[in-house]
Amino acid sequence: MMRSMAENDVSEELVELRSEVEHLRALVGPSEDDYRKLQLDLLGARDVAIAAEAEAGVQRGRNQLLETELARAQRDFQWFRERVLVRAKAFRDRSPAIGRAAGRLTSR
């Protein structure tokens, strides 16, 4: 009988403790497992953000490179066009018949 009273007291205390734990969890919020999952989600989101920032940096670099190449191509085109026009005008001045054809090309 003594033993059953002790077991009874322990089981009642266990029920009370479990009830208290549930009450405290309701007050505090998510469980430790939920907290760990949230931490993992946070770390995953941070890693994705870091990767996205790195990719954005790569894209900015590529954009800068393309802008530089475009500026160089435009400068080269302008230089080449001026050279062609100078030669065409010189050619036009040498021969009147060819000059008329060259004049049509250079008047544009």
Per-residue pLDDT band at 5 (split at 50, 70, 90): low
CA dist., res. 62 & res. 82, Å (int)? 30
- pLDDT single digits (tens) 60-104: 999 999 999 999 999 999 999 999 888 878 777 777 666 666 666
CA dist., res. 95 & res. 89, Å (int)? 10
Under 8 Å CB-to-CB from 98, ≥6 apart: which residues?
91, 92
To the question of pTM greater than 0.75 for the whole model, the response is no
